[in-house]
Amino acid sequence: MPPIDESQIRVILLDIEGTTTPVDFVYQTLFPYANRKLESFLREHSQDPEIQSLIQDLRTQHEVDGRNGLEPPGWLDNTEEARLCSSVVYSQWLIARDSKCTPLKSLQGKIWQEGFMSGELRGEVFPDVPMAFERWRRQKRIICIYSSGSVLAQQLLFRTTSSGDLTPYISAFFDTGVGAKTEGESYKKIAASFSHAPHLFFFVSDAVKEIRAAQSVGMQAILCERDSRASSSPTTGGVIRSFDAVLPD
């Protein structure tokens, strides 16, 4: 890995999970919240056309699972209440199997959105993140995010942190709409959207494959290891444990 040339850095591109935000936030906060709210959310919104079509998508998925011999719990459509209960029980069954099917993901997304909006959920960032945003802005550098979570979810997370709304610091949000995070082409597209050469970008992530993809198109990049127990970094370049080390004053 070539040495980092700080004077060249105009745009700082950040991963979220494991970089700005503890991985635990997803598994200890977001997922349990969606599980807890599942039934009340579906009940409350069962008349919304959007949720009715989501329940229909769950019903379709249920048939697919049945055909594939996965033996999902029974589904009844004879009354509205039976259909609602069936959708709750089936969703819980999907969660227990750690399913990533689209209707479940979209249901969880809607529950999180409501949680962030109501203030019951708050975004979490490592303590050095707000200070780094302030510092990089003072240095007139552009900050943007690239995460596999949807742009809406990214914005909700940064809008509701305990340090306040951090979205005014962030110039752009990218999700997998530009492509996978392990593909060089995605980083090329991001650079092109700023009309900046890739070497003016500095990408920070906890995933070695993502770092390599960014470097493959000429971006500067560094691995972020928040967990000090992990020390098996296979990259030859530097590793940071906190944003304090990234472009200090």
Can you give the binding site for Mg ion, defined by CB under 5 A? 15, 17-18, 206
**153-190 burial by CB neighbour count: b if 16+ within 10 A, else e?**
bbbbbbbbbeeeebbebbeebbbeebbebebbebbbeb
In whole angstroms, the minimum distance from the beta carbon of 198 to Mg ion comes to 20
In whole angstroms, the minimum distance from the beta carbon of 76 to Mg ion comes to 41
Map tokens 């493959």 to a residue: 216
Residue nearest to Mg ion (CB): 18
In whole angstroms, the minimum distance from the beta carbon of 130 to Mg ion comes to 19
Nearer to Mg ion by Cβ, of 23 and 85: the residue is: 23
SS3 state at 68: coil
**127-138 burial by CB neighbour count: b if 16+ within 10 A, else e?**
ebbbebbebbee
Nearer to Mg ion by Cβ, of 46 and 235: the residue is: 235
Closest C-alpha to 5, from 217, 219, 242 = 219
Nearer to Mg ion by Cβ, of 20 and 86: the residue is: 20
In whole angstroms, the minimum distance from the beta carbon of 107 to Mg ion comes to 24
Nearer to Mg ion by Cβ, of 114 and 225: the residue is: 225
In whole angstroms, the minimum distance from the beta carbon of 131 to Mg ion comes to 20
Report yes or no: 223 and 205 within 8 Å, Cβ to Cβ. Answer: yes
Nearer to Mg ion by Cβ, of 94 and 157: the residue is: 157
Amino acid at 122: R
